[in-house]
Each structure stands twice: as C-alpha cells, then as structure tokens.
Amino acid sequence: MNHPNFFVIGTPKGGTTSLFHYLEEHPEIFIPKIKEPHYFTHQEVAKSYYRPRIITSQNEYLDLYKDVTNETAIGDLSSSYLYHFKSANRIKNYNSESRIIVVLRNPVDRAISHYMMDISLGFVKASLMDIIDKKENFSQHYNQYVEVGQYSEGLAAYYEVFNENRIKIILSDDLFLNTTETMNELFDFLEVKDLQNLKFERKFNQYKEPRYDFVKRLHRNKIMEKLKDLISPEIKDKLKGFLFRTTAIKPEFIEERAALFNLLKEDIIFTEKLIGRDLSGWKSKL
C-alpha cells in the first residue's frame, strides 16, 4: 500500500514551503499536491482562523498518494503536527517506521514573519505589540506568533514516541545558507540518493504585500476558499504574481523583537538542550 513514511511536522514560516518544492524535485520522493493535509490533526486545525483545507477520512488521505509509482520516500508536510501532541502517537500507530523531519527557525524571526503574512492576507489588524501585551484579547493570534515559536514541548512529545534516529532536525539558516549540503543530509536520512544537479537557488513563500486592498478580503471569503481547490498550481502562481508584490522594505519591530525574545528565551534554552544543537545565534539575534 502506498502511504506516507516521512512527515515534516513544522514549523510554520520556517521554510517548509521551500522544502516542499526542493523535495518534490527528487525522483525517489513523492509529495502530494496538497502540501498540508493535516490529516492527523484535522479536528484541532478545523478551529483555526485560517480555515485551511483538511483531510478528514483515511480514504481521502490515501487518495492523495494514489499516483505513487516507484518512489520510496512518501511525504506529508503538515506543520500543525508539531503543536498538537497527540499527533505523535497517531503517526506512530499509523506507520511505526515513520521518519520525522522538523524545520526550526529563530522563533523571534518566525513570529515577525508570521505576523507580516497575516497582515498581508487580512487576518489581523491589531499591532503586534498589542497582541503580545494583551494575550487574553488576541488568544488565537498570540498562539500563532508566540506559542507556535515554543518548540520544546512538541519536540519532546515526538522524542518520547520515536527513536532519536528517526527524527531529523533542520535549522532554517542551514536550509537557506547551505542548501545543497543540508538537502543531501536530508536525502541520506530518507535513504534516497544524493542529487548534485538539483538547483536550490529559489526561496519560496517569501513575504509579499498585496498590490490592491481587495486582496485581503479574498482570503476571508468562503466562496474563494472553495475555488482555490479548483485552481491549478500554475494558475495560482500567476495570480499571486498579479495580486502580490515582493517588497524589500519591512518594519524593524525593534520593541516587538525584544518583547518576543523575553517570552521565548527560556524555551530556546530547552530546545537547544533537547536537540543538541548550538542555538546561540537565536539568543543573540534581535
């Protein structure tokens, strides 16, 4: 039976979209067209203000993989799996030989990027500082910008369920600064051949701002949500180019960065010990 045997479980705005595109270039790796089916967290993710498409039945889930032919590494890249801890056992029960991949980004940078994305899509109007200071008034957004950057508890849940040799940690900086080396390490982890001729220059899902005010309303329109599933990836790319523009001018968020670091620094230390990686860059970079 064709079913997933590796899972990229996080993190949002950490580089998983770029990783998705890099992986699908490999002839021995199969990635479904729906990047994040959220099958093992569909009940929890259904409550999100993003209203993502979710796969709720096993038949529908397996249907995503019906086109698998000779590929040996079959993936599910759902970034919600890191944060809903029951998913670790659900995945283990589904396929005990699963490999787990986690892409981790400096959580302060990740939070800023996540907030900027939500601003551009019209999901939030409040200032980031208000959200940080008034958790009780903005609980869902606080969760997305602060709590999603607290990695250690979710990681611990997976280390408890899976052997350490079944888990691969990738730092976003390595993914983007040493892409070929990092991807070949990942190919080794997935037991597929290294490919020296793959090109990894392009970064995906970079921050873009809407060209027109009405674009923000589209993401909150239920009819548009349904139409998105009917549009081919090629047409989506063309529409994004028309509706959004890449900008090099970004707010500095100096005060917000300091506040986020104070909220996240303890978890950075826990995460560093848990994964056995030097995260001093996260602790000094504001």
Number of CB atoms found within 10 A of residue 270's CB: 15
Residue 249 has pLDDT above 70, yes or no: no
Which among 67, 43, 66, 47 is positioned nearest to 55, based on CA atoms? 43
Averaged pLDDT for residues 14-24: 94
Percent of the chain exceeding pLDDT 90 equals 72
Q: 10-19, 126-135, 184-193, 224-233 — which is least confidently predicted?
A: 224-233
Secondary structure of the chain as H, E, C letters: CCCCCEEECCCCCCCHHHHHHHHHCCCCEECCCCCCCCHHHHHHHCCCCCCCCCCCCHHHHHHCCCCCCCCCEEEEECCCCCCCCHHHHHHHHHCCCCEEEEEECCHHHHHHHHHHHHHHHCCCCCCHHHHHHCHHHCHHHHHHHCHHHCCHHHHHHHHHHCCHHHEEEEEHHHHHHCHHHHHHHHHHHCCCCCCCCCCCCCCCCCCEEECCCCHHHHCCCHHHHHHHCCCCHHHHHHHHHHHEEECCCCCCCHHHHHHHHHHHHHHHHHHHHHHCCCCHHHHHCC
Token pair for residue 40?
């093992």
pLDDT per position as a tens digit, 50-90? 888 899 999 999 999 999 999 999 999 999 999 999 999 99
For 284, residues 6+ apart whose C-beta sits below 8 A from its C-beta are none
pLDDT per position as a tens digit, 166-198? 999 999 999 999 999 999 999 999 999 987 766
> Cα–chain-centroid distance for residue 264?
19
> Please, what is the average pLDDT of the chain?
88
Reported as half-sphere exposure (CB side, CA atoms, 13 A), residue 70 has a value of 4
Number of CB atoms found within 10 A of residue 60's CB: 12
pLDDT range class, residue 242, cuts 50, 70, 90: low
Q: 151-160, 188-197, 244-253 — which is least confidently predicted?
A: 244-253
pLDDT range class, residue 210, cuts 50, 70, 90: low
Averaged pLDDT for residues 37-54: 92
Averaged pLDDT for residues 189-214: 68
Q: 19-28, 157-166, 224-233 — which is least confidently predicted?
A: 224-233
pLDDT range class, residue 209, cuts 50, 70, 90: low
6-207+250-284 carries CATH number 3.40.50.720: no
Which among 147, 113, 112 is positioned nearest to 263, based on CA atoms? 147
124 conformational bin, left if phi > 0, alpha if psi -120 to 50, beta if neither: beta
Which among 118, 115, 140 is positioned nearest to 128, based on CA atoms? 115
Question: What does the pLDDT read at residue 254?
Answer: 94
How much is the pTM? 0.85
> Cα–chain-centroid distance for residue 254?
25
Phi, psi of 170, deg, nearest 5: -120, 130
Averaged pLDDT for residues 112-132: 95
pLDDT per position as a tens digit, 265-284? 999 999 999 999 999 999 87
Task: Tell the burial category of 9 from Cβ atoms under 10 Å away from its Cβ (0-12, 13-18, 19+).
Answer: buried
Report which of residues 234 and 48 the model is more confident about.
Answer: 48
Question: What does the pLDDT read at residue 52?
Answer: 86
Report which of residues 171 and 1 the model is more confident about.
Answer: 171
Question: What does the pLDDT read at residue 194?
Answer: 87
